[in-house]
Amino acid sequence: MGTGKEPRRIVTDADARNISRVEELSYELKIADVMARNIHTVTPDMQIVEVLDLFRRNRISGAPVISDGKMIGIISLEDLIRAMERGNGHARVRSYMTVDVITVHSYDSVVTALETFARTHVGRFPVIDETERLVGMLTKGDITSGTLKALQRDYQEEEVRRYRASHLFDDIVSDRTSLILRYQIKQGDFTRGGQASSYIKRALLRLGANAQLARRCGIAIYEAEMNLIIHTTNGGVIWVEIEPNQISMATIDDGPGIADVDLARKPGWSTATAEVREMGFGAGMGLKNIERCVDEMNIESKVGEGTRLDLKILLPPEDSFRETGQQ
């Protein structure tokens, strides 16, 4: 199929503006990217009814016919129907298969396959590689789903790029730039408990934090958020400051305050009610968990006035949100 191809129309600038991403993709995507790799083959001596059963079980509509490791034909659902109409369900594949098989190459673009589909009106092509080895099958459905997947990938990459707000830290010049996130947490709001932490974790990932860093911050602030929900009188505030080389997080509330901070830090010590424990919290591990995830932790508390928990995570140069000097 590489030969005798009609020359493609020359694309003008005006046309180019109207070329959709899907059209672009049909040039960018290779057949190997979209074809079905998991192929079912049949032998020339199989009976039509056996093939029908194979098709039905695997929900396929065509299969290459292989003899001695070589593809000698292709058999499709239409061929099977033809055989069944004549009452030849027990005939062999070799009598009904198509022998002039049109193949496509795995390294060609999808647009080549689209042209071949249009030219030949054939429903499926076996795909062969450089060494003429059968490596897959291709239907129009494969092209559609492959293109959709590529579009989705595109979209996600664009999202990540657009939201990789980390270039903020490079674009905006100041002596010390930071991004501050604030959340109001309601006492007793278990339904939305964890939502703020979830937003914070997502924000860090969008800023380009690696999974481990996002996880450390997420776990620490989640435990702290649950403490605000479980233990405070009026809820409190979560405050997060993101700088290129460190993340500071704090929870601030106005009571009741912790009588003995050292005791509160002890693993297993808890004042949580049975109701809270039933929800899986109040095991007295919260502060211990937070401490494990952060580089610095400080609690200040006064009974009747409130509690302030300060957490800091220092970022090694390779995790910095600043991109200058890095590829």
Residues 2-21 that bind other proteins (CB under 8 A): none
Which residue's CB is nearer to other proteins, number 135 or number 226? 226
CA distance 170 to 84: 70
**Count of residues making up the chain:** 327
From the CB of 198, what's the least distance to other proteins, in Å?
6
Residues 193-232 that bind other proteins (CB under 8 A): 193-195, 197-198, 201, 211, 215, 218-219, 222-223, 226
Beta carbon nearer to other proteins, 106 or 197? 197
Which parts of 245-284 interact with other proteins (CB under 8 A)? 279-281, 283-284
For the CB of residue 298, give the shortest distance to other proteins in the complex, in Å.
20
What the block records as the tokens of 127 is: 């795909």
Site size toward other proteins, by CB under 8 A: 25
Closest residue by Cα to residue 277 from 290, 264, 265, 268: 268
Question: Smaller CB distance to other proteins: residue 191 or 326?
Answer: 191
Nearer to other proteins, 65 or 242 (CB): 242
Number of C-beta neighbours around residue 19 at 10 A: 11
Cα-Cα-Cα-Cα dihedral sign, residues 289, 293, 295, 296? negative
Tokens of 149: 């997947």
User: Minimum CB separation from other proteins for residue 206, in Å?
Assistant: 15
Site for other proteins in 104-163 (CB under 8 A): none
Shortest CB 211 distance to other proteins, Å: 7
Q: CB-based burial of residue 253 (10 Å sphere; 0-12 exposed, 13-18 middle, 19+ buried)?
A: buried
Least Å distance between CB 168 and other proteins? 25
CB closer to other proteins out of 285 and 299: 285
x-or-dash pattern for other proteins, window 283-302, by CB under 8 A? Answer: xxxx-xx--x----------
Do 256 and 271 meet the contact criterion of CB atoms below 8 Å apart?
Answer: no
For residues 200 and 238, give the distance between their C-alpha atoms in angstroms, rounded to a whole number.
10
Nearest to other proteins of 169, 281 (CB atom) = 281
Question: Smallest gap, in angstroms, from Cβ of residue 219 to other proteins?
Answer: 5
Asked if residue 181 lies in contact with residue 200, where contact means CB atoms within 8 angstroms, the answer is: yes
CA distance 64 to 44: 10
> Which residues, including other chains, have CB under 8 Å from residue 180's CB and lie 6 or more apart?
239, 240, 241, 242
Q: Which is nearer to other proteins, 131 or 191 (CB)?
A: 191
Cβ proximity of 178 and 274 under 8 Å: no
Nearer to other proteins, 105 or 201 (CB): 201
Cis check: omega of the bond before 44, within 30 degrees of 0: no
Give min distance, CB of 33 to other proteins, in A.
Answer: 18
Q: Which is nearer to other proteins, 120 or 195 (CB)?
A: 195
Tell me if 187 contacts other proteins by CB under 8 A: no
**b/e string for 231-251 if b means 16 or more Cβ within 10 A?**
bbeeebbbbbebbbebbbbbb
The minimum distance between CB 259 and other proteins, in angstroms, equals 21
CB of 80 to other proteins, least distance (A): 30
Chain residues binding other proteins by CB under 8 A are 190-191, 193-195, 197-198, 201, 211, 215, 218-219, 222-223, 226, 279-281, 283-286, 288-289, 292
